[in-house]
Amino acid sequence: MNFLTNDLAAKDRLAVALDVPDTNAALALVDRLEGSCRWLKVGMELYYSAGNALVESLRRRGYSIFLDLKLHDIPNTVAGAVRSATLAGAELLTVHASGGGAMLRAAAEAAGSPGSPRLLAVTVLTSMDAAELISVGVSASPAEQALRLARLAKDSGIHGMVCSAEEVGSLRREIGPDALLVVPGIRPSGASVDDQRRIATPSDAISRGSSMLVVGRPITKAADPAAAARAVLDEIDAAMHSPLPRF
């Protein structure tokens, strides 16, 4: 699939992050979204509380599930986790690219069976900047490190990546139009940056070559989450059909 075309609807390019602590809070939030989105991201906090039962419940409601577990362990353990996510019916699943080639290859092999989720390799978290990378022994800039890890993931059989909007253009040029590039740290104009360091507006992120955007608090903490989601979708749609050249 070529993610640089306008064949996909705006709804295919937005995942709303359910960053809540339990099933009741998640389902209440989904009710308030009023069907305004198609993709829901379930992260570690919610998944560790609610497990596969919530994933299955959301799927029965017609949503596609992005399971954001950022798997990072020895190859055999990560392969087993990928198989467990397959049983839950998740369509997207994250692993940490920094887990190394052997781990990534094991994950890719486990995701080769029918019904498996598409894997996304997390490059550099959007909460990290150059100083944070230096503190963990990485002297490269976030952009350089993200590109290095994206190449490793691609060579290991994973063709989807998570990166910030600052790096998505270089990754798109490197990996090509068929890569699924997912960008978190999205903040509509005027929204609080919260704990994110490398952020962008929906329009900027799409114009730079993003396939899908992850938006959490600007939607989920809004007085009207459904209206906030529709506003983000309108911005995505406008960027998709802009005559300006991308990235």
pLDDT class for 241, splitting at 50, 70, 90?
A: confident
Residue 191 has pLDDT above 80, yes or no: no
Domains in the chain with CATH codes: 10-240 (3.20.20.70)
Q: Say what the pTM is.
A: 0.91
What residues are paired with 118 via a beta bridge? Answer: 92
* Among 11, 25, 6, 71, CA closest to 212: 11
pLDDT class for 189, splitting at 50, 70, 90?
A: low
User: Active-site residue numbers?
Assistant: 70
